[in-house]
Amino acid sequence: MQNLIDRLVGWAVGACLGAMTCIVFVSVVFRYVLNSPLAWSEELASLLFAWLTFIGAYVGIRSRSHIRIDTLVLVLPRAVQRWLERLADLGVLVLLLLLAWQGFRLTAATWSLEFPAMEISRGYLYASLPLAACLMIAALIFNWRLGREAPTSFPPEGRRGP
Amino acid sequence: MTLLVGGLLILLALGVPVAFAMTGASAIYVLLQGGIPLVVMAQRVTVGVDSFVLLAIPFFFLAGELMNQGGITRRLVDLAQALVGGIRGGLGHVTVITNMIMAGMSGSSVADATGTGAVLIPAMERAGYPRIFSAALVGAASTIGPVIPPSIPFVIYGGITGVSVGRLFLGGIVPGVLMGVFMMGAVYIVAKRRGYRAEGWLTLAESLRSVGRAIPVMLFPIIILGGIFSGVVTPTEAAVVAVVYAVFLSVLLYRELTLRGLARVLITVAANTAKITFIIASASLYGWLLAREGAPQRLTSFFLSFSNEPWVILLMVNVMLLILGCLMETTAILVILTPVLMDLITRVGIDPVHFGVVLTLNLMIGLLTPPVGMTLYVMVSLARVSVTDFTRECGIFMLALLVVLILITYVPGLVTFLPQLIMGK
């Protein structure tokens, strides 16, 4: 189950990035080569970027690779560290529940608003956070069920953000 | 305000990931304070990444990773070898030059460090350099990347402040070149003191071959920077053109990357991008609450109570940032402090383009310092050396960076001359 979701999320964020690249490149071509700018390209690419950000945060939880400051924690005894980690996970869970709840409310409230160029509901943007928050909650549950074992599928070790 | 700042510091100290610590502190504040509808939280977080400017982040990151996987970085190393391999401490200078050229293509210090480190550390080891020297040098040299355009921190700073990213990019050129020159000076000093020799100049035929093979690669900076500065494309669009060109080179021309490999790079870069941009999204909520609490005004009056001379303010801000840079993650500092500091900067009449470059160079030094330095940890794990040894070995390079920081802080013309020359006042 978790492996399937891991893989799907990986493909989804990869596809978002690929699609963003194509959209922006095509819009440059349309503007400078064909001289007919696309109105919707920036809106759509930014929308996908929001989805990539929030869905991608699932990966960070699963692989426990979100950027954190562990300097202070590392001096504590192992048992205390593990206990703190569980407590932090619990706090994050509560926070995600809150974000999911408020995110769904926001999506419902903005469903009738539209993007000026794409003419689709702004709800497609605001739905990214609550849906991703649900995925992240799933990620936390997977991590607990698997114990402290690191997941195997992704991402390759040793690479972190800019 | 105490609740907001104190809450964040406690959560960070407990090891909560930076992004969740910021949203968590904000949530606690909103719940206890009352008066702010909860739904605003979701709204601020989402609109924080609904931004076309910030899209440049994954694209520059992707371009850097494609260069590493597609054999482009290796060709650059060969080129640098032909250019400076004959100076004493040869491969050391090659490292600096490679990073300077890389800097003109990718926007990320960590991508540069992993890419050049993977090629250069083994090569330097074979040539007899101690591994710790190579690791420290590659780490230090990679900090040139985000100062020479294109640059992810400049994109973030521009996105937050509304300062033209093109101007920031132009402003970074001279300081970036200075970093390279000072770093090569440091390499020369170390090489002389420890008796490292030169690798010897290549023969003319070999040099020409390296240069020839690098020509398609050297089109990168021309496409990216030329496109931005001529106003043909925005920085985000230039980043995409760089990605497409990198795919063309590595998949079609050099055939070093398969389509499968390309998919893997996309997934890795997307996942790593999310770690940075999720922090930016969270900071958009946290920063909004800080501003609502009047943090920028309070910080401004605190600084102004000491002095209202720009040079004193710049000194105090630099020292504060260097200390914070040791303790906190770079992106987090950038996104939280930029809006808070802007009030102060404009009040004492410091040019925001000048300040953006000073801020970025300052934070780059923070990438190398323990206990919290991303590049430090990447190099330590890549080269399997200890944090203590790395820090000691890095000392002279950090000194070189500090000298450049002081120079560009107090000679603003080094930063502002090019943008004013090319883009007008």
Contact yes or no for B39/B171 (Cβ under 8 A): no
CB contact under 8 A, A160 and B378: yes
- pLDDT for the residue numbered B118: 79
Q: What three-state secondary structure class fits B81? A: helix
- pLDDT for the residue numbered B113: 80
| Closest chain B residue by Cα to residue A17 | B270
Nearest CA-CA distance, residue B127 and chain A, Å: 25
Contact yes or no for A129/A97 (Cβ under 8 A): no
Instruction: Please tell me if residue B325 touches chain A, with a CB cutoff of 8 Å.
Output: no
How confident is the model over A89-109, as a mean pLDDT? 94
**Residues ≥6 apart with Cβ < 8 Å to B406:** none
- Residue-wise over A67-103: b if at least 16 C-beta within 10 A, else e? bbbeeebeeeeeeeeeeebeebbebbeebbebbbebb
Q: Residue holding tokens 């290796």?
A: B74
How confident is the model over B269-298, as a mean pLDDT? 87
Query: Rounded mean pLDDT of chain A?
Result: 86
B171 alpha-carbon distance from chain centroid: 14
How confident is the model over A125-139, as a mean pLDDT? 94
pTM of the model: 0.84
CB contact under 8 A, A52 and B274: yes
pLDDT band of B228, cuts 50, 70, 90: confident
- Residue A161 confidence (pLDDT) above 70: no
- Residue A160 confidence (pLDDT) above 50: no
- Residue A97 confidence (pLDDT) above 90: yes
- Residue A140 confidence (pLDDT) above 80: yes
What are the C-alpha distances in Å from B246 to residues B38, B64, B65, B66, B106? 44, 9, 9, 6, 11
Residues from chain A that touch B13, judged by Cβ atoms under 8 A, are 69, 72-73
Beta bridge partners of A63: none
Mutation target to probe the B interface, by most B beta carbons within 10 A, among A7, A23, A51, A67 is A67
Query: Over the stretch A34-62, which tens digit does the pLDDT of each residue have?
Result: 888 888 999 999 999 999 999 999 999 99
Query: Rounded mean pLDDT of chain B?
Result: 87
Beta bridge partners of A114: A121
How confident is the model over A99-110, as a mean pLDDT? 94
Query: Over the stretch B65-95, which tens digit does the pLDDT of each residue have?
Result: 888 888 888 888 888 888 887 778 788 888 8
CB contact under 8 A, A69 and B114: no
Mutation target to probe the A interface, by most A beta carbons within 10 A, among B8, B50, B110, B330 is B50
Instruction: Please tell me if residue B8 touches chain A, with a CB cutoff of 8 Å.
Output: no
The residue type found at B389 is D
DSSP per residue, B187-224: HHHHHHHHT-----PPPHHHHHHHHHHHHHHHHHHHHH
- Residue B132 confidence (pLDDT) above 70: yes
- pLDDT for the residue numbered A153: 40
Nearest CA-CA distance, residue A2 and chain B, Å: 17
- Residue A1 confidence (pLDDT) above 70: yes
For B349: left if phi > 0, alpha if psi spans -120 to 50, otherwise beta; the answer is left
- pLDDT for the residue numbered B399: 95
B window 96-115, beta carbon within 8 A of A:
107-111, 114
Helices (H), A112-157: 123-126, 128-146
Q: In terms of residues, how long is chain B?
A: 425
Q: What three-state secondary structure class fits B230? A: coil
Q: What three-state secondary structure class fits B336? A: helix
**Residues ≥6 apart with Cβ < 8 Å to A32:** B232
pLDDT band of B175, cuts 50, 70, 90: very high
- Rounded to an integer, what distance in angstroms lies between the CA atom of residue B213 and that of residue B219? 12
Lookup: tokens for B311? 């040079």
% of residues, chain A, pLDDT over 70: 90
Instruction: Please tell me if residue A135 touches chain B, with a CB cutoff of 8 Å.
Output: no
Query: Over the stretch B117-126, which tens digit does the pLDDT of each residue have?
Result: 878 888 888 8
- pLDDT for the residue numbered A162: 36
Task: Show the CA angle centred on residue B195, arms to residues B193 and B198, nearest 5°.
Answer: 120
Instruction: Please tell me if residue B244 touches chain A, with a CB cutoff of 8 Å.
Output: yes
What are the C-alpha distances in Å from A149 to residues A145, B271, B272, B310, B367? 10, 20, 21, 53, 29
The residue type found at A136 is M
Residues from chain B that touch A15, judged by Cβ atoms under 8 A, are 266
